[in-house]
Structure 1
Amino acid sequence: MNGLRLAIVNWRDPWHPAAGGAERYAWEVARRLALEGAGVRYVTSRARGQQRRDRVDGVDVVRLGGRFTVYPLVLLWTLLRRRSFDAVIDCQNGIPFFTPWVLPRRVPVFCVIHHVHDAQFGLYFPRWMAWVGRLLEGPVSRWAYRRHAFVCVSPSTLNAVRERLGWKGSAYVVPNGATVSKQGPGAVDVPRGDPDLVCVTRLVPHKRLSHLLDLAEHLRGRYPGLRLHVVGDGPEASWLAAQIEGRGLGEVVVAHGFVPEETKAALVARADLHLSTSQGEGWGLSVIEAAALGVATVAYDVDGLRDAVRDGATGWLVGPGEDLAGAVERALEERADPVRRREVAAACREWAGMFGWAGTAGRWARLITAAVATGSAASEDHRAHIVRRYGDDRPRVAEGPDRDLLLADRVGGRPPVLREATPLERLLGRTWAAADPPPEIEAEIEAAAGGAGTGAAGGAGV
């Protein structure tokens, strides 16, 4: 990355009052690529009181416009500097910035998609504006980025991009990392009593906070000492407070609002379960952060969350015909067994340990440098592969221009050996590290290896 000029455009920065996981993702990538020697400009909107120009962790931060005016202003800013960048990461938060319209064709653009917003536009905007949003997210985006590539943060987001947005071009997977404050073993070794539940979330409509309140009403009769901690802030905060009071849940549901990272980690670490009631996510960063503390999550079986939660191993997914209360009661019953409780906590920590921001940035660095070298973010082969070069004992997952460059580099005159990666391997960016992988993962790897052809390199399966 040394010397490469990179622009990362995102709706907000991590210090914006409404920042969430998408901002965390963009900023972690930006600052880590800057540490690798890239010249990075992070271009975003400006909240009241924020400086227009800043420099943080080696990244030049440029703030332009507000919630909607940031889009045309970023396009104008990029147009005036169109020859100043070697590559661009264009983050789509509902709609992207359409930077290919103003950049030279030779500049590779990666459009980052955390999750497909089609169903969510109607929750936030009038019908006509929701229609415009879906038009921009779908047909207009397909045309604008047709010579470039999408980057998704999870396999289910990739599937949604293909199925719901109709994207047929190049699309890769680069997941979130996780950073967690150090805490003790939490509730894992605490004798069982009435449950302590926690939900870390932004207070916005698509997180479906009413489901949490319904759950509290259902469980408080069975568990008189039940506590449900809601951690996070957002436009629904006043609604949540009014609902807690109106439903008489003041002794059960505790709305903490925004809290420092250490306080948040302490609340999660002591909980019996973490909950997510969202109707869909790109990934589920709070799920992985809870898992790192040994705390399993109960969530709906929806995009993103079905990737972040390994059902029955690191949490429980609310299945078809099942309600949230039923899944939570099922999870609490399993946790009543001390052996099962420790087993789930260990699986959670192992799973969370596979995701780190350094790994996320490393995958981005390989994609970007390869795209700059080949002159395009796109690739004719949209699959991910396990690639092992001659003399290399450490095969890895590669896709897009990164894989294309590896296949062209014949060490000792020999082509690399490869097979198509499984969805899990694509998510992790590597093969399963443990000597004895869980049965469902072992079966997935064996199925991929058994069906592997010679691949683009003409070699045998790994």
Structure 2
Amino acid sequence: MKILWFTWKDVKNPLSGGAEAVNEELAKRLIKDGHQVIFLVAGFPGGLSEEKINGYTIIRLGNRWTVYWKAYKYYKKNLIGWADLVIDEVNTIPFFTKYYIKEKNILFVHQLCREIWFYEMIFPVNIIGYILEPLYLWLLSDRKVITVSESTKNDLIKFGFKNNNISIISEGITTEPVKNLELVEKFSQPTVLSLGSIRSMKRTIDVVKAFEIASQTISDLQLIMAGDANSTYGKKVVRFIGKSKFKKDIHYLGKIDINKKVELMQKAHLLVVASVKEGWGLTVTEANSQGTPAVVYNVEGLRDSVRNNETGIICQKNNPSHLANDIINLLKDTKKYKMLREKSWQWSKKINFEKSYRDFSMIIKNI
């Protein structure tokens, strides 16, 4: 099968995240199974206009905002009739391929934007995007859709998509689960971990505030943060840490490699996530695989990747005070902590890209 995949970022884009990691793993397996895959994506400074990665082709066109028009023009000039299947990935904005392609097509949606518009976009783009999103979702609501969580499926249904047109594939992680929890050594001091790019929608300042509150009860509590802080919000977080009276116990490491990430996920006691919403929350499952449960806000995606009081804790209210209380209570309740740690580790073993690809492959074969 020849697959043409429209999405605005590829795995090498500096802004790539969990969605691009999923695309990469699915594409690699498609190639291994004898399929051909071409991605049409946005360019970025230093990125090649065309390259092959793991057997699939990436063609980079325009930038974050012009890629939609450039991809349309490139398709019309070079790729009409090439594909057996076209995937239109909705990552904030769709490519509206249904209006100009004749080939079979399907949408791929990790999460809807909704309130993220107000965290990641400036005025008036945020208002315009928030108003237009329901409209363009309605225009696409006759399409079949692949998504990664019940939360996103429910969101799509709210905007007119039919339940039987929405298929959910398993998420997956590339991090190999530890073999034996008993052999995982934790930091000597209780440590909470915040991982990933420090952006407004991640609400990292809420994590720092929760840590400050929890530190008043657990005096030796430590916070380790790792991720790119080059955004305006990231710099704001770094300044906020610098002014904290607990700054000696907050350790910002910047961007880290995968080996350091795995080490931190093993040694930390808790992962803390306060995002506005997620498609799933891959870092949660990754941390679980290394023997670390998570405390998270009650939002789309995170309520899928965490089973409350079974594999982690979902806050009753999304604010630093409740987040802090959940951190304190779990770290003090060693019996419950051990149970969550064990169950989250066991569950993480079932969330892998082999299953994700089986789900994905079955869906696209039956379109």
What TM-score results when the alignment is normalised by the length of structure 1? 0.74
Say yes or no: does 1:166 pair with 2:160: yes
The answer on whether the counterparts of 1:208 and 1:277 sit within 8 Å (CA) in structure 2 is: yes
For residues 370-390 of structure 1, the C-alpha deviation after alignment (integer angstroms, 9 at most, x for no partner) is: 11xxxxxxxxxxxxxxxxxxx
CA contact (8 A) 1:88 1:110 kept: yes
Give the Cα separation in 2 of the matches to 1:191 and 1:77. 52
Q: Deviations over 1:133-183 (max 9, x none)?
A: 23443222322452x2122210011111112x3333721111321111565
1:34 aligns with 2:31: yes
Deviations 1:17-47 (A, max 9, x none): 1111111111211121111111100221111
Counterpart of 2:216 (choices 207, 214, 221) is: 221
Mean Cα displacement is larger for which, 308-317 or 319-328? 319-328
Q: Please name the residue that 1:179 is paired with.
A: 174
User: How many Å separate the matches in 1 of 2:242 and 2:186?
Assistant: 31
Please give the alpha-carbon distance, in whole angstroms, between the structure 1 residues aligned to 2:173 and 2:237: 28
Counterpart of 1:453? none
Change (3 A) 1:358 1:184: closer
CA distance in 2, matches of 1:261, 1:206: 23
| 1:13, distance to aligned residue in structure 2 (A) | 1.1
1:71 alignment partner AA: Y
8 Å CA contact 2:186, 2:269 repeated in 1: no
Residue 219 of structure 1: how far off its partner (Å): 2.1
Matches within 5 A, 1:45-444: 45-80=42-77, 81-104=79-102, 107-144=103-140, 146=142, 148-163=143-158, 165-168=159-162, 170-181=165-176, 194-234=189-229, 235=231, 236-320=233-317, 323-334=322-333, 336-337=334-335, 340-371=336-367
- Whole-Å separation in 2 of the counterparts to 1:190 and 1:151: 39
Identical pairs, percent = 24
Question: SS of 1:62's equivalent?
Answer: strand
Q: Which is worse superposed, 182-191 or 52-61?
A: 182-191
Cα deviation for residue 221 of structure 1 reads: 2.7
> Is this contact kept in 1: 2:141–2:160, CA < 8 A?
no
What is the CA distance between 1:192 and its match in structure 2? 8.8
From the CA coordinates, give the structure whose radius of gyration is larger: 1
| Counterparts in 2 of 1:332 and 1:149: CA distance versus 1, 3 Å | same
Higher mean alpha-carbon deviation, 247-256 vs 95-104, is at: 247-256
Cα distance between partner residues in 2 of 1:267 and 1:92: 32
Secondary structure of 2:329's counterpart equals helix
Deviations 1:32-76 (A, max 9, x none): 111111110022111111111101111011111111011111122
SS of 2:253 mapped into structure 1: strand
**1:175 counterpart letter in structure 2:** S
- Give the length in aligned residue pairs: 361
* AA aligned opposite 1:158: K
CA contact 2:331–2:337 (8 Å) conserved in 1: no
The structure showing larger relative contact order (alpha-carbon pairs under 8 Å, at least 6 residues apart) is 2
CA contact (8 A) 2:31 2:56 kept: yes
Could you tell me the TM-score, scaled by structure 2's length? 0.92
- Structure 1 unaligned runs (5+)? 372-462
Task: Return the structure number with greater helix share.
Answer: 2
Segments of structure 2 that go 5 or more residues without pairing to the other structure are none
The CA distance in 1 between the partners of 2:85 and 2:128, in whole Å, is 28
1:287 and 1:309 in contact (8 A); partners too: yes
CA RMSD in angstroms, aligned pairs only: 2.1
**Offset at 1:185?**
5.4
Q: In the alignment, what sits opposite 1:423?
A: none
